[in-house]
Amino acid sequence: MAGGRPRTFDMDDALDRAVEVFWRQGYEGTSISELTAAMGVNKPSLYAVFGTKEELFQQVVQRYAERELAYFREALALPTALEVVCDYLNRNAVALTRPDRPPGCLSIQGGLSASPANNTVTQFLATSRLTGERALAARLTRARTDGDLPADAAPAALARFVMVVSEGQAVHAAAGATAYELQQSAAIALKAFEQALTTAN
């Protein structure tokens, strides 16, 4: 057994750098040479460690979900439906506009559309967004049995509405909207949600 030549890069750091590049430029807007430069990894090592561009992208999205979307899972753990949604949309506004991060959301601008050759990337991101929506729907279903959502409320439709607002916030953030502006939109959306707490939907 032998050690071999040591790496000049840290895998975790390199992946974080890749997250940033894909986040800012999207899948098709990012070239391998830009990635190797930003990650501090030479090309053969990149392929040895992370696989192809598409495989790297999947790891990037996973890392992004773990490190940058923690607030979503934390929001889901709050006691009532209203708290969940209020917390999520407001923290979303902040997360989408962090000055030390690219504006917007990787899960959307990473590849909302693409060449037919890269269709799997678009579908992969759509699926990962849908997973979040389903988690929220499940949380709202529980809220209905908990009693903080009316029995005749529609958790799937409400969850979809919340995700629609959150995606709209992301598009606006990518265009340069401020956290305050996005929170204003969140506040208006929450009025609709509050109404669902008392009325049939």
Contact footprint for its own copies (CB under 8 A):
23-26, 28-31, 34, 104, 108-110, 112-116, 118, 122, 126, 129-130, 154, 157-158, 160-161, 163-172, 174-177, 181-182, 184-185, 188-193, 195-196, 201
From the list DNA, its own copies, none, pick the one residue 140 interacts with, judged by a Cβ distance below 5 to 8 Å according to partner type: none
Nearest of 59, 68, 66 to residue 14 by alpha carbon: 59
Asked if 116 touches DNA (CB under 7 A), the answer is no
CA separation for the pair 130, 108 (Å, rounded)? 11
| Nearest distance, CB of residue 59 and its own copies, angstroms | 19
Among 13, 37, 52, 66, binds DNA (CB under 7 A): 52
Which residue's structure tokens are 């990012």?
A: 30
Amino acid identity at 13: D
Output the CA–CA distances (angstroms, integers) from residue 104 to 26, 126, 130, in the order listed: 11, 16, 18
Which CB sits closer to its own copies, 78 or 114?
114
Crossing angle of helices 155-174 and 81-95, in 10° steps, is 20
CA 28 – CA 41 distance, rounded (Å)? 20
Cβ nearer to its own copies, comparing 59 with 118: 118
Binding positions for DNA, rule: CB under 7 A: 1-9, 30-34, 41-45, 47-48, 52-54
